[in-house]
Structure 1
Amino acid sequence: MKYNSAAVILNYNGVHFLEKFLPNVLENTSEKTEVVVVDNASTDNSVKFLQEHYPSLRLIVLPKNYGYAGGYNYGLATLGYEFFILLNSDIEVTKNWDIPLINRLESEHHITACQPKILAYDNKSYFEYAGGSGGFIDREYFPFCRGRIFGELEQDLGQYDNAREVFWASGACFAIKSWAFHKAKGFDEDFFAHMEEIDLCHRLKNMGHKIYVEPKSVVYHVGGGTLAMMSPFKTFLNYRNGLSLLVKNYPYSDFKFILFKRLLLDGLSAINFVLRGIPRHAIEIYKAHRAFFKDWKLVLDKRERLQEEHKDVNRTGVFNGSAIWMYFVSRKRKFGKFPTRRFVNE
């Protein structure tokens, strides 16, 4: 059979997730999509398990752990499909989940990436942290979602069941046109993991492309499969990569002013961690800032190169306000409470 899309699962020491979720993915993925596993040099028995139990499954074994960004870059480089669907190993899918995503991508040339509605595996009536029903970003580059503002998760009552353009698609599960992935040169491997999907989507939008959510496709995500929610290393990656995301991609000349505000807000976040009795995470924010400024010239070089590729910058999905102010001061902790007029909708 000739497939036009591939659902690509990146695995690292996740044999327990493969045992639990791979049968579900194989059973519920349509005949149009081939399921592929890319193994990031696992040290558990993931490869042996796949070879013994799924000998006909396409398996790509990488020589070392390249992280999420590099793992997918190397894995997808070997695949010749029209569409890629990137799928975390800790996700349960629903029947023919891939079809609405591909249909949405095929509906318009400029729609280059699309995510499903992502609900929590352990509480299926609620949105999951990593993506909800589509990602947005505020003026200081703090990401949030329909269905999740910071740590506040909403119950899914159908309030976000409309397909719409967003700012970013979740790395837990999203489909992308292969030509767009390659045109954008894939993920930034310096990110290693976390926020690399927002960086990729931002680069695509700076080229004039559109990112969508298609809630007709529904998946259930465990979350924290590789790094736990409160992992210090996850804190480091999120804060370092958040600064790189801003400097690389912010399309206007006042990026240093936005960066200054972001650094101040990161400092307040560090103080909050100390007050909550988890100072280790405050230390990780300091380490993240130090690592970011160590690579300052590298990030600026990337910015300069990317500025040359900016054509019709698409800012749809940007909130012209502060998500922190809305959440902590105005006490508006649901996406639907954010004023619609302050979202860019080009």
Structure 2
Amino acid sequence: MTINGARILLPTVYNCLIFAILLPLFSTADDILLPLDVKSKCPGAEDAITKAVTNAVAGNKGLCAGVLRLHFHDCFVRGCDASVLLDNSTANPNPEKDSIPNKTLRGFQVIDAAKIAVEAYCAKNKSCPTNGCDPVVSCADVLAFAARDCVKILGDFFYDVYAGRPDGTISIAQEAVDNLPAPFFNITQLQSSFAKKNLTLEDLTVLSGAHSVGVAHCSSFEDRLTSINSSQINVAFANSLKQKCTNGNVTVPQDYVTPDYLDNQYFINNLNNTVLFFSDFALRTNTITEDYMEQFGNNYKLSNPNTWKDKFKCAMQKMGRIIELGPNQGEIRKVCSAINVS
């Protein structure tokens, strides 16, 4: 189905309410994502990706936070088409990867390792020509599955992912600047940015919870330390950051309480004015998003202690189904950093 110019691919089975409502509206097979093992005609493909991702981040779980950010930055520009993975080339001389918002992306090696592993696994039992098998799993799908696996590694919860995202062949740096929400955005700008992707204020708040893992460069929030507004940032917290941020290239944890665990601590921190970005604090300036934050920040006092995690699973599934390429467009890349050569 197409909403606001973006094609949203729906699964055959999906337990989140929004898609239960929308499901009857699709009419063609082109609008359905399928389980990876079915789509790729390669039983075990999903497990091959999971094993590769687990091995790739074994010595540095922080890479998983990078993979989550990669997936987000991919889906917000041209949909989930792996355009963020493309290197500079004649076809794409100024790709998304080289844009200012994407200069600090990491985790590319995790996706490369998973792509190599799944294609090797799927080729193992095939009779391929001398020049090798055609690829069967798109890089966009690999990235979506890797992000899901990283959620399991960092937060110990799981959600289903379906396959069928084509890889794009176009990547433009300016489009990353134009589409990605910036750390200095106010709530109006954030709401507009997410609405363009058919994501709601609830989705915005829920997905912001990913800021409970990973690190941030001091340059992305140093303006908040220049003139400290005690109504927006805890003074002791700000002074601590000042001591650590000796220059803009220094990195600090986004969540100083549970920095390596994907949980609801981000919302508790935000309610206590101990978050890094102005865009984080901006969620406090809207009654709807602030109410969501209070729900998620206090969710361990509720009858369902997994309130935020359940919402996060649905929001990740929803974001992962933003597809702007039409049927029969795109390709399945052989190498994630380069388009296929005819």
Question: Normalising to structure 1: TM-score of the pair?
Answer: 0.30
Greater RCO (CA < 8 Å, at least 6 residues apart): 2
Higher helix fraction: Structure 1 or Structure 2?
Answer: 2
